[in-house]
Every structure is written in C-alpha cells, then in structure tokens.
Amino acid sequence: MSPPQDRPAVTQETLARDLSQLGLSPGDVVFLHSSLKSLGWVEGGPDAVIDAFLEVVGGEGLIVVPTFTWCFAHGGPARFAFDPRETPSRVGKITDTLWRRPNAYRSAHPTHSIAAIGHRAQELVAGHDKTSTFGKDGPYGRYVEWGAKILFLGVDLCCNTALHAIEDWLDLPYLQVEEAIVKGPGDTPQIVDVTKSPSGDRDFYRRDSKVERLLRQAGIIRRGKVGAADTLWMPSQEMVEVVVKGIYQEPALLLCDREGCEFCDRYRQPTIDHIRESRPQV
Ligand SMILES: [Zn+2]
C-alpha cells in the first residue's frame, strides 16, 4: 500500500523527528492518549507509531497507554468477562497494538487496564486491579512520581484520565462503586466490585472545559504537530499541582455547570463541603 499522492508520507523516522521537536527526550516516561487516524496515512501503521515513541525515549524511557475495556456488568458497552491476555482495548488502535507486543506488560484492572513497554514497565503496572482504579499506590501515582509527560496525540483534553486520579487522591465524594465482569477460576465469568470508579458526568468531557482553561492559563501545555495530528503534552506533576490548587479554589471544578445535569447537581455541594471541611492532601 502506498500513501495518498497529495500528502507527505508519515513514517517512523518523521514521527520520531516530530516527537523530538515537540520536546520528548531519551529517558522520558510518557502516558500516551492517541488517535491513529489523526496522524494521516502512516507507513507501517500503529507499530511504526509505537516504534517512533520507543526510539525517542530510548532504553531508559517508558511508554504507557490506556487499554480500557469498560467490562462493566451493567450498562457498559462490553458485556463480556475481562481477561488481560485477550480482551481488546477500546481506546484506539495504537493502544490495542501496544499491549499485544511480547515485551508489553498489561495490568489486570477489569475496566481501566493500562499497558506499558520500557524501563520499569512491569513495576509500573504491578498491583493495578479492581481495588483501586486510579489509586496513589498504583500506576497513576507511580507515573506522576516518576515525572511522566501526559501526551495527547490527535485527541483533546477530554480524555485526560489523570484528572480522575486527582479525584481519587482527594477522595472526592462522587467516585462510585461499580460491578465489573472478569474471568474467574476455570474461565467462569465472575462479578466483582470496582471501587472508586469514574462513573457519571464531568465538565472536562467537553471541549474548553473549566479545567482546560485553567491549564492553558497556567502555561504548562506544549503544542505541536506530529504527522498531521495536532498534539499537546504537559508535565504530570505540574498538572497535578495546578488542578489541586484549582480544586481548593473551586471544589466543583471537574463537575459541570449545565442546567439539569443530575449527576453534577447531586454531587456539587457534598464536594464543596468535603474540600472545605477535610482539606484533603494529595
Ligand atoms: Zn454534569
């Protein structure tokens, strides 16, 4: 297959060059949200994209992707039992290709698993199971501690799951317990509770959200082109700092202000009370 005549070819080499120009370096830890089709026609497909990232961060670097499956027992799109060795990722071709590589490690979380390749990959995903989706002692806490860059390749900040980690660390009252389906002993489907699950609405699921404006004002978002994709990234530690300060100022920052949003209406006042009374620390 050859590239369309009217567009320049996107290759592993051009992608690696673009990523370096955007500010990625050897040794980086990168949490990658992605859309393959946003890049234009890529010679070598998703594998070329993954190889470009691995090339730029090098042997001391680490690439992490969400491989969410949303295997909820009720109301989810995927009513089948989760198995980290076979359940496809539902968040894009790049993520679904990455976890299948022999040197990738995938976590066992039934709805929000992640996968990683590179330095300390196994350590990153360790212990990520139903008991804590975004817990500080799990992958989200580790990658922030390791100074990860959160990168949005052709997607916008609506998919910034690290914001759910901040909700978890501040113990905000609107994370829920949900039932998920996993493969139990003898491959029998088994229903398990997932604690602190990010159900319900959020303001940042829409463009130009309150938190997006806050992050823009803080000046921590770097932008550029990778292939044809509008791409941005920000340092996770600075993001956590800015958002936590923002939540102290406005506790319902991550909830929406739309009229008639039952979820956000229900949890607005309990969230304000929780932040004002408990002053939780991350
Ligand atoms: Zn809402």
In this predicted structure, what is the pLDDT of residue 40?
Answer: 95
pLDDT of 186 strictly over 90: no
Ligand 1 centroid vs 258 CA: distance in angstroms?
A: 6
Ligand 1 geometric centre to CA of 68 (Å): 22
Distance between Cα 29 and ligand 1 center (Å): 32
Q: How far is the CA of 257 from the centre of ligand 1 (A)?
A: 6
Distance 128 CA to ligand 1 centre (A): 28
pLDDT tens column, 209-239: 999 999 999 999 999 999 999 999 999 999 9
pLDDT band at 7 (very low <50, low <70, confident <90, very high): low
Q: What is the 3-state secondary structure (H, E, C) of the chain?
A: CCCCCCCCCECHHHHHHHHHHHCCCCCCEEEEEECHHHHCCECCHHHHHHHHHHHHHCCCCEEEEECCCCCECCCCCCCCCECCCCCCCCCCHHHHHHCCCCCCEECCCCCCCEEEEECCHHHHHCCCCCCCCCCCCCHHHHHHHCCCEEEEECCCHHHCCHHHHHHHHCCCCCCEEEEEEEECHHHCEEEEEEEEECCCCCHHHCCCCHHHHHHHHHCCCEEEEECCEEEEEEEHHHHHHHHHHHHHHCCCCCCCCCCCCHHHHHHHHHHHHHHHHHCCCC
Return the domain boundaries, the chain: 12-278
What is the 175 CA–ligand 1 centroid distance (Å)? 14
The whole-number average pLDDT for the span 198-208 is 95
Tokens of 262: 């039952």
Radius of gyration in angstroms for the set of CA atoms belonging to the chain, rounded to a whole number? 19
More confident position, 279 or 31: 31
Kindly give, in sequence order, each residue whose CB lies less than 8 Å from that of residue 115, ignoring residues fewer than 6 positions away.
64, 65, 67, 89, 95, 98, 99, 104, 105, 106, 107, 125
CA of 200 to the centre of ligand 1 (A): 8
Q: How far is the CA of 211 from the centre of ligand 1 (A)?
A: 14
C-alpha distances in angstroms, 63 versus 21, 151, 170, 235?
Answer: 18, 10, 26, 14
For residue range 149-165, list pLDDT tens digits in order.
Answer: 999 999 999 999 999 99
CB 54 within 8 A of CB 172: no
Can you give the pLDDT at residue 274? 98
Dump pLDDT digits (tens) for 59-94. 999 999 999 998 888 765 446 789 999 999 999 999
- Does this model's pTM top 0.85? My answer is yes
| Per-residue confidence (pLDDT) for residue 6, from 0 to 100 | 66
CA of 238 to the centre of ligand 1 (A): 26
pLDDT at 185: 85
Q: How far is the CA of 67 from the centre of ligand 1 (A)?
A: 25
Q: What are the residues whose beta carbon lies below 5 Å from ligand 1 (ion)? A: 201, 256, 261, 264
Neighbours of 163 (CB within 10 A): 24
